[in-house]
Amino acid sequence: MTSITLAMCTAAIFPIAIIVATFLLNKKMNTNFEKSTPFECGFDPHNSARIPFSLRFFILAVLFLVFDIEIALLMPVPSISFLSTSVKMVLIGFCVILILGLYHEWNEGSLEWK
């Protein structure tokens, strides 16, 4: 019992010590306007360096990643024909949830690029 308590104390002390050390040892940086402006070979920049980010692209990329991972999870299913009925029902439920999610995103208009 004492070894578990010792391990828990060690696991709590090390992260706290590291956080305290970073706060104590971190060097305060003064922000300099000249260093924070964009630089183009010594000339004033022609355009703004901060290009606005398209939120629609971000949502579409996240949806692609989610469905890509789910498809990777479903890839071995056809080759596993020896599964029990309950596991097959879980897989069918998973597919139904995927189809409902796709239907929701389609109705919401997240899949359309405007």
Note the pLDDT tens digit of each residue in 46-56: 666 667 777 77
Domain membership of residue 114 (yes or no) is: no
pTM (two decimals): 0.46
Looking at the structure of the chain, the number of domains it has is: 1
Which residues of the chain fall below pLDDT 50?
A: none
CATH number at 31 reads 1.20.58.1610
Domain membership of residue 113 (yes or no) is: no
Cβ–Cβ < 8 Å for 67, 98: yes
Burial (0-12, 13-18, 19+ Cβ within 10 Å), 5 = exposed
Range of the domain at 80: 1-108
Amino acid 17: pLDDT: 92
Amino acid 35: pLDDT: 65
